[in-house]
Amino acid sequence: MHEEPLMEDIKRPLILITNDDGITAPGIRNLIEIMKEIGEIIVVAPDKPQSATGHSITINNTLYLNEISKEGADFKEISCSGTPVDCVKLAVTEIMKRKPDLCVSGINHGSNSSINVIYSGTMSAALEAGIEGIPAIGFSLLDYSWNADFSQCKKFVKKIALEVLEQGLPEGVVLNVNIPKLAENEIKGMKICRQAKAVWQEKFDKRQTPQGRDYYWLTGEFVNHDKGNDTDEWALNNGYISVVPVQFDLTAHHAMQQLNTWNLNE
């Protein structure tokens, strides 16, 4: 007689969790609780906030890892002195016994839609995992508050993670998921989108120290010039979660034909 396998005999997926807000941020603590329902987890995250570090890596300083022991914890949790990308690199090469089945980054406190994806440490961690051949997702909630309510994220984060584990992702692609600041019953659903063509109109607030030395604070206004209804900004402004497939191949393939008309070799 055929017997169904026991739950403990079924291999659970191995999930790497990281972020850019730091290992103590409420966003990653919520992501940990969600991922524990799906698989075996390992957390490797910065020991301090690393927002807007992009894809930076540490090459001129030493890197330190500190395993955080918690009584009764059923998973390994390690803080790293480096950037989000450092965290992924160290996790894959030094910490994990095998390549994870999934890497999730976040949940970020604030938006990583549109042009923000370039600056985002959250998304750079996911992209680094993608470079390593690991299916990866960056999650962000459009609420910059440290005390943001992440409860409305749980159902959607879990659903996307499970779909990626089951379906996989195209080679060289990771997902950038942004969640509007709405109650769960106000979110209309999820939309696969393209990245909106939007920019930051930046300026620097110039000030002086008491000693007379100039210093600067970066300020700016986010301006969306894209009127399409298939963008992440449209989705978020209309009550949807945006899901944007992002690639780490930055080649502008559409421009190659035009550039090949140049007389570069004459």
Nearest to 91 by CA among 113, 130, 65: 65
Q: Is residue 28 assigned to a domain?
A: yes
Calpha distance 109→228 (Å, rounded): 26
221-242 confidence digits (pLDDT tens): 777 888 889 999 999 999 999 9
Pairing label, strands 76-80, 40-46:
parallel
What was the pLDDT predicted at 65? 96
Q: What is the largest CA-CA distance in the chain?
A: 85
Q: Is residue 191 assigned to a domain?
A: yes
> Is the distance from CB of 138 to CB of 175 less than 8 angstroms?
yes
Q: What is the tally of structural domains in the chain?
A: 1
Q: Is residue 151 assigned to a domain?
A: yes
Q: Is residue 149 assigned to a domain?
A: yes
Q: Is residue 176 assigned to a domain?
A: yes
Tokens of 130: 């993608």
> Is the distance from CB of 107 to CB of 74 less than 8 angstroms?
no
Domain region containing 34: 7-195+228-251
Q: What are phi and psi of 223, to 5 degrees?
A: -125, 125
Q: Kind and range of the H or E element at 105?
A: strand 102-109
81-105 confidence digits (pLDDT tens): 999 999 999 999 999 999 999 999 9
Residue 65 CA neighbour count, 13 Å, CB half? 16
10 Å CB burial of residue 163 (0-12, 13-18, 19+) is middle
- pTM comes to 0.90
Q: Is residue 261 assigned to a domain?
A: no
162-216 confidence digits (pLDDT tens): 999 999 999 999 999 999 999 999 999 999 999 998 887 778 888 999 998 999 8
Look up the CATH number of the domain holding residue 125.
3.40.1210.10
Q: Is residue 262 assigned to a domain?
A: no
